[in-house]
Structure 1
């Protein structure tokens, strides 16, 4: 019954968005109320879940998306995004630009959270599409594939690291195995997958579109452009490396941890971009601040919709649907690795949050790991693959992809949910192949 209610709730959301053309945030709020009460939550508890879901989601994402939008706007208005995109096109050629974007996304995504990778790369994606007159999805699909495979397969991302700690897996081996399965998953779910969805139309959202195409002599250098764009990557990667080289109780460790914090790294990058893409080329503070205000305005509704997705997730979590799903599949006569993937994937689809799915399934599977003697590194990757399956409307990233690529709700289901499912299934295939040789 809980799964039937959830399915009806998602269908209700679909009808509100597609049939009645209701705003995404309002549609999510109504769906949360209906599903919460139908799943047995008291009405006041449902409201509490909605509030905590919005707050919990935006508490994590509002600063990242806000600073990311401002940083990206300065990079676009200052010509930095155009310089990077033109250089990629020149070096790789128009025919290979999807591969260039996939490689760039993979390198950036290794150290950054999915959301940070997204906001760092999206202005470059927009600029490539606008200046080279390339369909937005042609460069967007490979970027999404790259940052998604790194997020679910590769330490030092928090999900794989946390599950590795629970399963007592070797981080180095997990990373090595993860790279082996991530590369084919990226190729299939990125450049190759685009060929299946290329007929779908996608546009750069108003307010985030490139306002000006610069002449060659007006553009900043490639070195300063790419260095500024990679500042968050450098700072966050540095904060990870210090764990191995700097004593934990030292002032240096505290300072480097501080500037390598996701929020601080983006804030520092923003202030540096004020100089590199602003003061350095003669722009005044009022002009730069006007750009940041316009950037903030452009993502206001996106933030609300993402918050609504977080509310939907929290209602599902608090109603206990995830635990109900787990009890249905434990004990099935299948490989422990496949079972780990199935449990995590089902929790992911019902609950929405990849993080919740990771931790719930890890707790369920820990006794199984001890009984079977299966490789803990492969078990980490099986759980990670499952957490990427069919990213549902209860997850914030679903709405980020929908809004930033100006997709309809059915398009997002057809394109993004299928893409994440391909990544997940390709990962599972890779895990099973590795299990035959390690």
Structure 2
């Protein structure tokens, strides 16, 4: 019954949004409360559950998106995004522009959280699309692939690290095998899938399509190139979060390698490398490099900041209430019910963990919850199986990415970032995430025959 109730609730959500044209935020709120009642959450706990999910989601993403929007707008309004876009187009050429986006997203995705990558890169990709007169989504889909694969497969991202820890897998092998699996996955789910998606849902690639909230942040006036900041300072400002996160990763590796105890220096580095702190410091840097250093008055910089936050305000509400929906499904026992479906299974350990993670991901929405729940559930089932636990870790991460849909905050981020309809988001982003997930499983199974 929990799965049936969940499916009916999600079907109602689609009906409200797509058929009755009820606003996304209102539709999510209606379905969240109805599912809470249908799943038997006590009446005196429903509001707490909804508020908890909303608060937890915005606690982890709200400030990141707020600071990220300000950072993107400051870079765009100063001409930095235009300079980066023009330079990349000139270096790679229009024929290879997709590959340049893939390369940038993969490199930055090693250190960046998916949410940070979206809010940082979409405005720049929007500028690139304008430079070469291509649809935003033609470059946007390959960009999201790089971020998603790195986030789901590879350390130092929290999900793969925690899963590896629970499975007692060698993190170095997870990283090595992860890169081997990630390269063909990014190619297939990125440029190759985009080629077919362009033909399956041409409306999503309409050049005149109104850009979404995050892309609009990069829609500044066009400058003469000599009036824009130089390429080096523009890239430094945009990549500042990557630099801080990479520094924290190196410090963590040094701590493990040399057995360094906690000390004020490393604790300070870890503090400033937290996503929220990173984005705050990046805004401070941008105010100087994109503003004060170029003689732009502080009041004009603050106008850009205010405009950017207003632009994403509704997006934050949608992301928050989608977190409430996820929390209701968790509190309603949907995840626990899924766990009982796989007890006593004797299938391949790699396929088993992927399948468990996939089912939990589809029902609950959160990739992180799916991955961590799978690790706790599957460990007793596969102990003593002789499986390669580095590949088990990667298979779990792959399964946790499958079929992003309406109960996943990432679905709404991508939809609102590129100004897509529900149907267009399903046919592009949901299919893309499924391709990533299946590729991860297939390549893990192939690799298991050699290692």
Task: Please report the TM-score for the alignment, with normalisation by the length of structure 1.
Answer: 0.98
Matching residue of 1:22:
22
How many angstroms does 1:286 deviate by? 0.5
Residue 295 of structure 1, aligned match among 288, 296, 308:
308
Name the CA shift for 1:258/1:365 in 2 (closer, same or farther; >3 Å).
Answer: same
Paired with 2:264 and 2:342, the residues of 1 have a C-alpha distance of: 49
Paired with 1:162 and 1:333, the residues of 2 have a C-alpha distance of: 25
Paired with 1:273 and 1:189, the residues of 2 have a C-alpha distance of: 33
How many angstroms does 1:190 deviate by? 0.6
Counterparts of 1:168-183 in structure 2, within 5 Å, are 168-183=168-183
Matching residue of 2:237:
228
Paired with 1:327 and 1:404, the residues of 2 have a C-alpha distance of: 37
Matching residue of 1:204:
211
Matching residue of 2:246:
237
How many angstroms does 1:209 deviate by? 4.9
Per-residue CA distance 1:278-336 (angstroms, 9 max, x = gap): 11222100000000000000000000000111011000000111111121133334211
Per-residue CA distance 1:108-130 (angstroms, 9 max, x = gap): 00011111111121221121122
How many angstroms does 1:43 deviate by? 2.9
Paired with 2:112 and 2:225, the residues of 1 have a C-alpha distance of: 31
| 8 Å contact kept, 2:326–2:407 | yes
Per-residue CA distance 1:92-147 (angstroms, 9 max, x = gap): 11111111000000000001111111112122112112233210011100110000
Counterparts of 1:5-404 in structure 2, within 5 Å, are 5-198=5-198, 199=202, 200=204, 201=206, 202-205=209-212, 207-245=216-254, 247-404=260-417
How many residues of Structure 1 are paired with residues of Structure 2 in the alignment?
A: 438
Paired with 1:327 and 1:422, the residues of 2 have a C-alpha distance of: 27
SS at match of 2:217: coil
Paired with 1:140 and 1:159, the residues of 2 have a C-alpha distance of: 24
Paired with 2:23 and 2:370, the residues of 1 have a C-alpha distance of: 28
Between 236-245 and 377-386, report the one with greater CA deviation: 236-245
| 8 Å contact kept, 1:131–1:213 | no
| 8 Å contact kept, 1:340–1:365 | yes
Per-residue CA distance 1:13-45 (angstroms, 9 max, x = gap): 001111111111110000011111112222332
How many angstroms does 1:228 deviate by? 1.1
How many angstroms does 1:86 deviate by? 1.0
Paired with 2:380 and 2:272, the residues of 1 have a C-alpha distance of: 39
How many angstroms does 1:382 deviate by? 0.7
| 8 Å contact kept, 2:241–2:279 | yes
SS at match of 2:384: helix
| Deviation >3 Å, runs of 4+ | 244-248
Per-residue CA distance 1:205-264 (angstroms, 9 max, x = gap): 365351211111111111111111111000011011112336443222122112212111
Between 388-397 and 159-168, report the one with greater CA deviation: 388-397
| 8 Å contact kept, 1:50–1:315 | yes
Task: Please report the TM-score for the alignment, with normalisation by the length of structure 2.
Answer: 0.95
How many angstroms does 1:388 deviate by? 0.3
Name the CA shift for 1:83/1:209 in 2 (closer, same or farther; >3 Å).
Answer: closer
Per-residue CA distance 1:63-112 (angstroms, 9 max, x = gap): 00000000000011111111111111111111111110000000000011
Matching residue of 2:445:
432
Match status 1:417 vs 2:424: no
Paired with 2:355 and 2:267, the residues of 1 have a C-alpha distance of: 40
Paired with 1:36 and 1:237, the residues of 2 have a C-alpha distance of: 41
Listed as ranges, the gaps of 5+ residues in structure 1 are none
Coordinate RMSD, CA, aligned: 1.3
Paired with 1:152 and 1:245, the residues of 2 have a C-alpha distance of: 23
